[in-house]
Amino acid sequence: MGSAFRGALVASVVLGGLPTLASATNGYFSHGWGARSKAMAGVATALPQDGLAAATNPAGMAFVGEGFDIGVAFFHPSPRGYEANPDFAVDPATGFPTGPFVTPGDYDSDADWFLIPSFGYNRPLGERATIGVSIFGNGGMNTRYRDRAVWENFAAAPDQLAGVPGAGQIASPGGLLFLPTNPPQPVTDPSVPPPPAGNNANPGGYFTATTPTGVSLEQLFIEIPYTYRFAGGRQALGIAPVFAIQRFEAEGLEPFRGASVAPDRVTNNGEEWSYGAGLHLGWYGQVNERLALGASYRTRIYMTDFDDYEGLFAGGGEFDIPAMLNLGLSYRPWRDLTLAFDYQRIFYGDIDAIANSNARDISACFAPGTKPSYCLGGDNGVGFGWETMDVFKFGVRYDVDERLSLMGGVSYNSDFTDGSMALFNILTPATVRWHLTLGASYQASDRDRFTLAVSYMPEEQLDGANPSITQDQTGSLYMQQLDIEIAWSRRF
């Protein structure tokens, strides 16, 4: 037992050191954790099946036995991106755009394959208690647009005189931005002396958008669940401290420096790390031989700030991880058939950096002087407009015999935002709503089981406009996903 436990701890440390990459299906939360759960659309609140059950309901670890589970997923969130329509507003007299716009066309993100490891271990402590460890990941605000700068029309040309549009340019309202035609025309005359101090709209190209454009958010969680069984061993309570690590990077957002309270902390500052902790509580109960119920709540995870991006996220770089509620039941109408249902609520709406609206006029943020609190990075800074999400999951498992089980499921989640927030979410096109899953699990020996889970998320599209940023121009976010996971479980 001792050597097995030490081996599990070593494996947990190794896996914990790996970068956990994008797995965005329900917003930027995975649709499930553990291969057998993912094969059944993520149900696990009242159906614990492996050492990753703690990610959904720590109380379930009381019923998975002693052993470890190792999984690796191949995640393919593609195609994903944004389509900008050619309907931006123009001045009828000049034919020039009357404000910022995204150059019409398709913006497809690359970097499309991600490798995601996971690990779980559980050990009994006497007849009633267990302790374990579960390591898993989230992610999904991962985009990388290489072909052209998404925000290329949002800033003056380098070293452009403020208030003096150059050739092929027209001043935006207030004369703060200069919108080049496509392609941009040269605006600097070598015979003209350098702009006087304070009259340079874009010194050295400081606000000029670059490629690639995108963001990357990766999260690693380590839960240490402790469970205690009671009521004749048919019920259990679970508690798990949760430790989290985040890694974030943003690129190509230079034009938004002008609207930030900390312009040097908006973009292109490399990788930044954040650390924090929370608590996960759960209950699981076997009502009878056929019916089981479960419930869990994971608190908000309070994270250290992203200091290098304090000019991008509301509250000066705050980016906590939202709380999560799970309610579930499983029912066995026959001995070889199990049906399970989960309801999940993810409280994105409580995290300002994610939830604050970007459908507001931020023109005052580009003016010199003290900036309003709703500017980027301010106490009430604009965000991505995400809403608290409801997820409904249904899974089925058919045990063909003592060795082979076949699984499937479907889940559906509410919209992550509305069309008025679509533009800023070019960076985070989390449009997926349906999840269709299949899988199989085979008991290869008395101790070893292997599982395959395949999850397909059909392409979903979110249409809209953001009048406060691009006026009349419309566009569409889109994303499709494929997730394939293989896992090995060993029981002692």
pLDDT digits (tens, 9 = 90+) for 259-294: 999 999 999 999 999 999 999 999 999 999 999 999
Residues 6 or more apart whose CB falls under 8 angstroms from that of 418 comprise 385, 387, 464
Residue 5 within any structural domain of the chain: no
107-111, 130-134, 136-140, 204-208: segment of lowest average pLDDT: 136-140
Distance between CA atoms of 475 and 104, rounded to whole angstroms? 9
pLDDT score, position 418: 87
> 117 pLDDT exceeds 50?
yes
Distance between CA atoms of 282 and 132, rounded to whole angstroms? 14
Query: Residue 131: which CATH number?
Result: 2.40.160.60
Give the structural domain span for 244. 35-160+209-491
Distance between CA atoms of 118 and 136, rounded to whole angstroms? 5
Distance between CA atoms of 106 and 52, rounded to whole angstroms? 39
pLDDT score, position 302: 98
pLDDT score, position 140: 54
> 174 pLDDT exceeds 80?
no
pLDDT digits (tens, 9 = 90+) for 27-43: 989 999 999 999 999 99
Residue 251 within any structural domain of the chain: yes
Q: pTM for this structure?
A: 0.89
> 210 pLDDT exceeds 70?
yes
pLDDT score, position 141: 59
pLDDT digits (tens, 9 = 90+) for 307-337: 999 999 999 999 999 999 999 999 999 999 9
Residue 176 within any structural domain of the chain: no
Residue 193 within any structural domain of the chain: no
Distance between CA atoms of 250 and 384, rounded to whole angstroms? 14
Residues 6 or more apart whose CB falls under 8 angstroms from that of 479 comprise 77, 79, 80, 81, 429, 430, 431, 432, 457, 459, 460
Residue 187 within any structural domain of the chain: no
435 pairs with which residues across the strands? Answer: 411
Cβ atoms of residues 139 and 20 within 8 Å: yes
DSSP 473: -
Residue 182 within any structural domain of the chain: no
pLDDT digits (tens, 9 = 90+) for 368-425: 788 999 999 999 999 999 999 999 999 999 999 999 999 999 999 999 998 888 888 8
Residue 224 within any structural domain of the chain: yes
Distance between CA atoms of 383 and 318, rounded to whole angstroms? 11
Distance between CA atoms of 411 and 395, rounded to whole angstroms? 8
Residue 246 within any structural domain of the chain: yes
Strands (E), 287-403: 291-298, 302-303, 324-334, 337-346, 389-399
